[in-house]
Amino acid sequence: MSKFKVVSDFSPKGDQPNAIDELSNHILSGKQHNVLLGVTGSGKTFTMANVIARVEKPTLVIAPNKTLAAQLYNEFKLIFPENAVEYFVSYYDYYQPEAYIPSSDTYIQKDSSINEMIDKLRHSATRSVLSRRDVIVVASVSCIFGIGAPEDYLSMRINIENDEKINRDRMLLDLVTMHYERNDFDFHRGVFRVRGDRIEIFPAYEETKAIRVDFFGDQIESIAEIDSLRGSVIKKLEDVTIFPASHYVANKTRLKQATETIIEELKLRIDYFREENKLIEAQRIEERTNFDLEMILELGYCNGIENYSRHLTQRSQGEPPPTLIDYFPDDFLVFFDESHISMPQLRAMYKGDRSRKKTLVEYGFRLPSALANRPLKFEECKNVIKQAVYVSATPADYELEKGKDALVEQIARPTGLIDPEIEIRSATNQVDDLYEEIIFRHKKDERVLVTTLTKRMAEDLTEYYSDLGIKVRYLHADIKTLERMDIIKDLRTGSFNVLIGINLLR
């Protein structure tokens, strides 16, 4: 079994050694709620890393936003180069949820743009969690939103071994059932291609590597890991496991059961609308659901298949949906980074999602079971998370109350630095005053963070200083997730000196 191994040129200093010892002892003794109260700059991430290595538990780190999650992911990747460090956030670059506005009789169809790289990272995360214990997944709070059941995802994987006897057409059918598409010309993630007795598969969780399987009749002759672009062999393999290309997968038996229960629910819903003399809603739900059923029976999936997740997973009404948390073993550990922000987010997600979907159900756009495709309720989160560490410089009352018997402080910084002096200046001529400070810091090859009240102000200020010859960029919510990571990296490496945005210090 692989163990966590911290690789760093630094060793714990200041309050870090004591914090690592205390937190590790609390976790190993079974304390459910723990608090790491550490001031800004005290090296809480390094402390978290050393605790993970000490307790040897699969770990989920929940951050309040994508940008912070990306920073933590990059830091953990550097600290644990020999272990599986994964990234799991919402894969939408753009997302307009399905909605209906009764007052204007306006139906808004779901519209979204999926980031292929983040989708790959999500699949890589679930594969790692199910196949090894030395895993750290850095996630946003979207990890409590429903995805496919881990038992279905795991049962649908295929294991391929050298010299194994298997019908080639059977393997092709298995790949299609796992939501891989055949494309003999455009080879990319989530597809496979066939060339005579050779099948090449581009796993959904890989970026540049694919799998080549050569047959001799109905026997596997060789397996190799190849470069997806050049086709050259990287290494020969004795066996390989291919995981599904979607988290919403189900075998034929499960699909048949699901379609039967969907039809039963549809009949009940049509009868309800007709009894209420809501004939438009009855016709609407019948047409929309029957179209989805045809797609599921023909292809194994449909657009918006997540709305039928309760049927696909055979869950009872009111039962919590499967989430990323369910992919972890029972003894996993959760860190809530910036817990004073992330914990309130967990409380709010369920109600916001339900309000929108309830309207869709009432007006016949979705079956009532669509309400089961939701985030976990806060109480459900507490039930599935057995051990948690709340990490914050300012933990809220909830965390302090829950972790009062396992509260660890980290005040002294490893660098020995104290908090910077805060200076309040007049708003008069503040733009010019800031320009002088930027020039002063630039001469010392230092960086400047500028916080504004609005996105428009950040963009205008960036344009103004850029015209004056300052190397400056802005950062706010309209910038795509991966681009934010690049901007922060460029700031660190000195490609530019000034970053302007909102909540940069959060």
Co-location of 217 and 261 in the same domain: no
89 falls within a domain: yes
What is the rounded CA–CA span in Å between residue 92 and residue 34? Answer: 33
Q: What is the pLDDT of residues 475-486, one digit of tens each?
A: 998 888 778 889
pLDDT (tens digit per residue) in 31-75: 999 999 998 888 999 999 999 999 999 999 999 998 899 999 999
Q: Which of 376, 410, 444 is a domain's end point?
A: 410
Do residue 175 and residue 281 come from a single domain?
no
Are 445 and 355 within one domain?
Answer: no
Task: Note whether residue 453 is domain-resident.
Answer: yes
- Do 99 and 192 fall into the same domain? no
The answer on 136 and 26 residing in a single domain is yes
Please list, in sequence order, all residues whose beta carbon lies within 8 angstroms of the beta carbon of residue 21, skipping any fewer than 6 positions away: none
Domain that holds residue 107: 16-146+318-410
Asked if residue 1 has pLDDT above 70, the reply is no
Query: What is the model's pLDDT at position 17?
Result: 95
In the structure, what pLDDT confidence band is assigned to residue 417 with cuts at 50, 70 and 90? confident
Determine which helix (DSSP H) or strand (DSSP E) holds 241, and give its type and residue range. Answer: strand 239-242
Are 166 and 265 in the same domain? no
Kindly report the CATH number assigned to the domain that includes residue 162: 3.30.2060.10
Domain assignment present for residue 313? The answer is no
- Average pLDDT over the chain, rounded to an integer: 92
Residue 107 located in a structural domain? yes
Domain count, the chain: 4
| Backbone dihedral angles phi then psi of residue 425, each to the nearest 5 degrees | -120, 165
Confirm whether 391 is domain-assigned.
yes
Please report, for residues 17, 30, 146, 247, the alpha-carbon distance to residue 306 in angstroms, rounded to integers and kept in the order given. Answer: 46, 36, 8, 10
Can you list the positions of beta strands (E) in 10-102? 33-38, 59-63, 84-88, 92-96, 99-101
Same domain for 135 and 182? no
CATH of the domain at 491: 3.40.50.300
Q: What pLDDT score does 19 carry?
A: 96
- When pLDDT is averaged across residues 70-87 and rounded to a whole number, the result is 96
- Report the SS3 class of residue 472: strand
